[in-house]
């Protein structure tokens, strides 16, 4: 498991200052080849324009725990690849050379980090980025989205629902008391959660923790929630065994918890009642996420009505977003970054519907990097989308050949993050650096509560790219 202490770090990768901020930034996990049962990767290599020659590769990772693996995937880790130009699509064996992490760095003024969402949701700005056009960027608003889509296109949205995963309580050890805070990370079973604790040094196995309105006693059963620290793990993580289980535990968490705002927001303001609705999509359905699929935050019933009138269909997949989505890449080479895993599902009905859209000439438009990662995990070699259920830790960097999607709507991402690497793989590194420079100069709002972008693929990014992406 990836160490998640850095989840609470600041955008520049330093230790965060929020209510749940970590006190350190340990290096992210071992390399790809460590541990048991390595994932099955594919590698493409090439050269990014304007950055000189380096080992450029993509790691398409799938968990061995996923329900299906695409045919032709080799076991083990890929070998070093260094090509001066072009792209090569061949499976390799051995260890992998990646890209320098600093290639994905950029300067972002702190005042462009959005602390509150736009009102209304679809009033946020939309930067349209098309590498095939000059200029490559155009300024719009989200409610203009239907103007860029065609009848027969399909939106794919992530319908995960964020739980109020931020909890505060009191550690009880004999007569001693100490305030502690937790962010739930991953459910273990009906009564147990893995959580990030702060300060973790105050906790040890066997400690009791009481979560309540004041941390001490309560008149109502739901006004207090007790747990035992079952295990203290690495990286500030603990396993909490709650006294309640199942639906009773879920209800108590909803009473006691706050929305788990990202560290760059939580470090500057406390969650409030408005975050219960605004840090949630209007179509959220399946509980399990500890972070929002933020591109979907922009959609409103009015925008859906406009898309319906345009003849754009919408389809839902589920990927429970984990805290690892905010992890900065701390290593110098992308090949040694351990990607976090998230549980997702693409139903047989959705897969069939999307394949029918593609067969009829429509485009698949992923709303958010979470939808994209899940669809790419579910795609076969020929681009056919198959039913999928399980975890994915797919890591997409420049050189990757997209199989499942044709356009991407997404927010603006952290420097050096896996998500900025993903959008650079889709639209091109130079294009995205120029687009982000334009966004900064134009005052776009960044990150979870910020503005959005609509990205067209670079000419080499997608095997399914239409000859003309426009009306």
First to last CA, the chain: 45
Whole-number Å distance between alpha carbons of 437 and 325: 23
Between helices 369-378 and 418-427, what is the axis angle to 10°? 70
**pTM of the predicted protein model:** 0.76
- Is-cis flag, bond preceding 463, omega within 30? no
Task: Give residue 213's pLDDT.
Answer: 57
Task: Give residue 121's pLDDT.
Answer: 98
Maximum separation of any 2 CA atoms in the chain, in Å: 72
- What the chain holds in terms of domains, given with CATH numbers, is 101-162+275-455 (3.40.1780.10), 166-257 (2.40.10.240)
Task: Give residue 165's pLDDT.
Answer: 94
Between helices 429-441 and 418-427, what is the axis angle to 10°? 110
pLDDT, averaged per 10 consecutive residues of the chain (471 residues), comes to 35 34 31 32 28 29 34 29 29 47 88 96 98 95 98 98 95 93 90 92 95 56 84 89 95 94 89 95 96 97 98 97 76 78 94 98 97 96 95 90 96 91 94 97 97 93 49 45
Task: Give residue 459's pLDDT.
Answer: 85
* Nearest-10 Cα torsion for 227, 233, 236, 241: -10
Measured CA distances, 61 to 40, 75, 77, 421 (Å) = 6, 11, 10, 15
SS (H, E, C) 233-247: CHHHEEEEEECCCHH
* Strand partners of residue 60: none
Contact 124, 298 (CB under 8 A): yes
Going by C-alpha positions, the residue among 307, 417, 414 that lies closest to residue 367 is 307
Whole-number Å distance between alpha carbons of 175 and 186: 31
Residue 356 corresponds to which tokens in the numbers above? 């029918």
């Amino acid at each position: 498991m990836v160490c998640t202490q850095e989840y609470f770090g600041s955008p520049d990768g330093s230790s965060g200052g929020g209510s749940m901020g970590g006190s350190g930034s340990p290096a992210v996990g071992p390399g790809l080849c460590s541990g048991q049962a390595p994932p099955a990767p594919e590698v493409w290599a090439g050269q990014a324009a304007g950055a000189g020659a380096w080992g450029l590769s993509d790691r398409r990772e799938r968990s061995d725990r996923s329900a299906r693996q695409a045919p032709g995937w080799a076991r083990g880790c890929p070998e070093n690849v260094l090509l001066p130009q072009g792209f090569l699509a061949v499976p390799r064996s051995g260890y992998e050379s990646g890209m320098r992490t600093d290639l994905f760095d950029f300067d972002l003024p702190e005042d462009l980090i959005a602390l509150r969402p736009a009102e209304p949701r679809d009033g946020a700005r939309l930067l349209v980025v098309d590498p095939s056009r000059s200029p490559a960027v155009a300024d719009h608003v989200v409610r203009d989205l239907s103007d860029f889509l065609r009848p027969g296109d399909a939106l794919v949205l992530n319908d995960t629902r964020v739980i109020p995963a931020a909890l505060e309580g009191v550690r009880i050890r004999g007569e001693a008391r100490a305030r502690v805070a937790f962010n739930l990370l991953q459910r273990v079973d009906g009564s147990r959660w893995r959580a990030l604790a702060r300060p973790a040094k105050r906790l040890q196995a066997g400690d009791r923790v009481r979560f309540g309105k004041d941390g001490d006693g309560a008149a109502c059963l739901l006004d207090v929630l007790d747990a035992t620290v079952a295990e203290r793990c690495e990286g500030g993580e603990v396993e909490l065994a709650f006294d309640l289980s199942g639906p009773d535990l879920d209800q108590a968490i909803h009473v006691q918890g706050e929305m788990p705002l990202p560290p760059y927001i939580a470090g500057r303001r406390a969650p409030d009642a408005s975050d219960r609705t605004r840090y949630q999509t209007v179509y959220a359905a399946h509980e399990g996420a500890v972070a929002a699929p933020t591109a979907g935050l922009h959609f409103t019933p009015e925008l859906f009505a406009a898309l319906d009138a345009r003849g754009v269909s919408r389809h839902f997949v589920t990927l429970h977003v984990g805290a690892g989505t905010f992890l900065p890449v701390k290593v110098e080479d992308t090949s040694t970054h351990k990607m976090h895993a998230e549980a997702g599902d693409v139903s047989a009905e959705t897969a069939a519907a999307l394949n029918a859209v593609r067969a009829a000439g429509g485009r698949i438009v992923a709303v958010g990097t979470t939808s994209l990662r899940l669809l790419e995990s579910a795609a076969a070699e020929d681009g056919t989308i198959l039913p999928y259920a399980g975890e994915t830790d797919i890591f997409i960097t420049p050189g990757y050949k997209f199989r499942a999607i044709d356009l991407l709507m997404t927010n603006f991402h952290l420097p050096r993050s896996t998500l900025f690497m993903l959008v650079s793989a889709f639209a091109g590194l130079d294009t995205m650096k120029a687009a982000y420079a334009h966004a900064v100069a134009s005052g776009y709002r960044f990150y979870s509560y910020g503005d959005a972008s609509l990205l067209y693929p670079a000419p080499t990014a997608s095997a399914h790219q239409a000859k003309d992406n426009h009306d």
